[in-house]
Amino acid sequence: MKSGRVLIAAVLFLGAGLWLLFEYCNGNAGMNFGNEVSANKVSIDLTTSGVPMLVGSSVAGIGLLLMLIAFIGAIVGQFRHPRESEREKTSSRRETPFEEVDPE
């Protein structure tokens, strides 16, 4: 199974879904540093509402599902033996002799 096309579709769907979610969001982000390790904090507040939230989360979900399918296909492809096809033994045109023409 070739998982390249599925992976390309997964990246496109995931990128489009995340773009929709982040493009139409209202929110902020902040970072606080303190003297102790437990006082350090990162805060991200993203709020996307309406149609972009419905479409963006659906498209991102499809992208995650396709990425999971591509990942499983790549794992299965690593353990599968390649198919050997039987080819007929035919001579190429270079190996065939020229027709002899009588000089009459």
Task: Find tokens 């969001």 and name the residue.
Answer: 25
Per-residue pLDDT band at 102 (split at 50, 70, 90)? low
Asked, for residue 85, whether it belongs to a domain, the answer is no
Whether 25 is in a domain gets the answer yes
Residue 47 reports pLDDT greater than 80: yes
Residue 102, in any domain of the structure: no
103 part of a folded domain: no
Q: Is 100 among the domain residues?
A: no
Domain total of the chain:
1
Query: Domain range spanning residue 23?
Result: 4-79
The reported pLDDT for the residue numbered 74 is: 87
Chain segment 49-69, per-residue pLDDT in tens: 999 999 999 999 999 999 999
Q: What are phi and psi of 95, to 5 degrees?
A: -85, -15
When pLDDT is cut at 50, 70 and 90, the band that residue 16 belongs to is very high
- Positions of E strands within the chain: 25-32, 41-48
87: in domain? no
Query: Does residue 92 have a pLDDT over 70?
Result: no
Within 13 Å and on the Cβ side, how many CA atoms surround 76? 9
Rounded Cα–Cα distance for residues 64 and 41 (Å): 28
Q: Give the predicted TM-score (pTM) of the model.
A: 0.65
